[in-house]
Amino acid sequence: MAVLTGEFLCPECQEKLRIHERGKKSIEILCPECGTPIRIETTSDRKLSAHKHDASGTDVADEDSPAWTNQKSASSNRPLYFAGGVIVCGLLLFGGWKLSSNTTKPQEPDPKDSLVNPVAEQVKPIENVEQSEQAPEKNHSEEESPFARNLKLLAQQIDVYQQQNGQFPPAYWTPQGNSATAEVERFSWLAGLDSALKENGSLLPQWNLAWRDPLNDRFVRRRRTELLNPAIRLQASSDRYPASHIVGIAGVGHDAPHLPVSNPRAGIFGWNRSTRVEDVTDGLSNTMLAAGVTGKLSSWADGAASIRPLVQEPYVNGPDGFGSGQSDGMHVLMADGSVRFLSKKTEPTIIRRMAAIADSLPLDASVPGDPGNKNIVIAADPKPETPKLPAEKNQPEMPVSKPETPDPKPAIPQIDFEKALARTVLQFLLEEPAELETVLIELEAMVGIRIEFDPQQIPKTDPIRKQKVSFSKRNVSFKVLLTELIKPAALKFEIRKDHIAIVKQK
């Protein structure tokens, strides 16, 4: 079967394009950016060439238009080497997340036909289709972002789990043979994929207990750098546990985690269900699996906070808390194991379609349809009506009893500041002087309690935050460590309701 596949530059506007089309030796398309007619064809030696194509059907030579491959060929008339591996069907514009008008979401290819391991793909940008031509091109490569590399490592763990179990990890991690705890207390999928469990058997938690149970402290109080984003200052949750900057995508809308896998708004993760590869009918390479977060942080072990739906626009650096530290976009992990950079200018409709696994909508903003549209009707199995019996005459009225008030859910335990500050630090060593603010962030992650400067006494512009400190201690408590760290700067700490505040000495 003839296959057109490869990457090239538009001969007219120089935008980077990619195509993968089966069953054809040549095709005429319009550049999705400038509208120039282009003929793309495969030569006899399995190479790809692209030419301007006027309305009369004549190819227009253009020696000044460079083609583009990994080696950047000299001109668009020169053949472009055949791109190995299975690439997403359709025409994709790399200057923006834009597909040609006849593009549909590809069905996922048979893994046996793939020549490239999707987990090994490089980070690829998904930028705004409306990006200014004068804006400098930014390279959000995997080498440039430690967080993107962390997402790639997580993708490898998910791939191993999927190969062994035939499905993606469930949001709530409940190992086989263990009874489930209350929903708000169950372990997260991130806890179940912790590679340390295989390396150190003594860390194995009590899965049948709540993740926050004191017997699980040794497991959940660890700082997991592979789940953190160095670009985000806060690395602990509001309830004093080491946090995660990664969450699973639950779909579109507040109720998305509760939806069945067949719902067009459902994402890969949901409560009390699992998702198989075949359930992702929109294509793994078009579906988001996980994303970075900068706000509303929670413990990496907390199952109830390990997944998050798209609720309110803007989705990038918006009220939902999604982001990875860049002002112009964020890194996301796709279901095929690749990491993409999603521009903040990407159409919200496209982002919603990427969050849904089976909305049957293409990643083309010109095609109507929205998985978040309230007008979408979900067909449900009709429930049989309960037959009504005729009321007997002169039947005395029965007293109506008030429904029993359900027991309230157990409150989250208050922070035991005394216990946390009394713990012993075997060694705290600063090899080089560092800013006080940075050192407190590290200490915050160790003690598991949020530490903040009092904004009234020490605003963000106060130079004392950037004061360099050199500090080393052994076998002291967190209380002594913190006290002696801030004392030279004429500071002290106070215990507030949910955090430790750094204030000035009077």
Query: What pLDDT band is residue 36 in, cutting at 50, 70 and 90?
Result: confident
Q: Which pair of structure tokens corresponds to residue 392?
A: 């007997």
Query: What pLDDT band is residue 363 in, cutting at 50, 70 and 90?
Result: confident
| pLDDT tens digits along 109-140 | 443 333 333 333 344 455 443 333 333 334 45
Helix, strand, coil in percent for the chain, rounding step 5: 20, 20, 60
Q: Which residues of 394-403 are buried (b: 16+ CB within 10 A; e: fewer)?
A: eeeeeeeeee
The alpha-helical segments, DSSP class H, found in 236-356 are 348-355
Report the C-alpha gap between 481 and 461 in whole angstroms.
25
pLDDT of residue 5: 67
Long-range pairs of 106-113 with CB within 8 A, sequence gap ≥ 24 = 106/20, 106/283, 106/285, 106/286, 107/281, 107/283, 108/277, 108/280, 108/283, 108/284, 108/285, 108/336, 113/86
Q: Which residue has the tokens 């390990």?
A: 306
Residue 85 has pLDDT above 70, yes or no: no
State CA 349 to chain mean position distance.
Answer: 17
- pTM exceeds 0.75: no
Region 173-181: mean pLDDT is: 59
Q: Given phi > 0 = left and psi -120 to 50 = alpha, else beta, which region is 414? A: beta
CB 51 within 8 A of CB 38: yes
Region 440-463: mean pLDDT is: 85
Residue 381 has pLDDT above 70, yes or no: no
User: Torsion angle, CA of 480/486/488/491, rounded to 10 degrees?
Assistant: -120
Tell me the sheet residues that pair with 340: 124, 332
- Ranges of each domain in the chain: 3-110, 146-355, 417-504
pLDDT of residue 450: 82
| pLDDT tens digits along 214-249 | 889 889 989 999 999 999 888 888 777 899 999 999
What DSSP element (H or E) covers 475?
strand 472-477
Across the beta sheet with 37-42, the strand order is 26-30, 37-42, 48-53, 59-60
Query: What pLDDT band is residue 54 in, cutting at 50, 70 and 90?
Result: low
> What is the amino acid identity at position 441?
I
Which of the pair, 396 or 300, is modelled with greater confidence?
Answer: 300
pLDDT of residue 427: 74
Q: What is the CATH number of domain 417-504?
A: 3.55.50.30
Q: Which pair of structure tokens corresponds to residue 256?
A: 């998305």
Region 276-292: mean pLDDT is: 94
